[in-house]
Amino acid sequence: MDMSIYTGRDSVYAQRHGRYCPGPGVDVRTARCILKMIDAELRRGWTYDESGRRIRMTPALAKKRALYLIALARRHHGPEEARRVEELVRRWLARRRAAAV
């Protein structure tokens, strides 16, 4: 059964680590929380999939998950919140690129 990785009391992170990002849905606050978790996963080198299995965290997977936050924000809270999340994600991606140089 697929579950949320980061958000909610039933998420993978809640079950494995006892902490999770707020929900329901993705807004700027939730996106910021998820991006912090993704940063930690990149440093650690691993994350979880939707089934709760441990998998390798790569920069490509981190970028994919970060960009997906924009679509989730649009679906859950509409175009204005999606624009705010997109700006947050773009700044996060730029900071990641700058750190990689």
pLDDT at residue number 101 = 60
Question: What residue spans define the domains of the chain?
Answer: 12-100
Q: What is the pLDDT of residues 13-67, one digit of tens each?
A: 999 999 999 988 999 999 999 999 999 999 999 999 999 999 999 999 999 999 9
Mean pLDDT of the chain: 94
Is residue 2 scored above 80 in pLDDT? no
Residue scoring higher pLDDT (19 or 99): 19
Is residue 68 scored above 70 in pLDDT? yes
Is residue 1 scored above 60 in pLDDT? no
pLDDT at residue number 3 = 82
* Residues in contact with 85: Cβ distance below 8 Å, sequence separation at least 6, in sequence order: 26, 27, 28, 31, 69, 70, 73
Number of residues written out for the chain: 101
Q: Which residues pair with 54 in a beta bridge?
A: 48
Angle (CA) 98 13 28, round 5°: 50
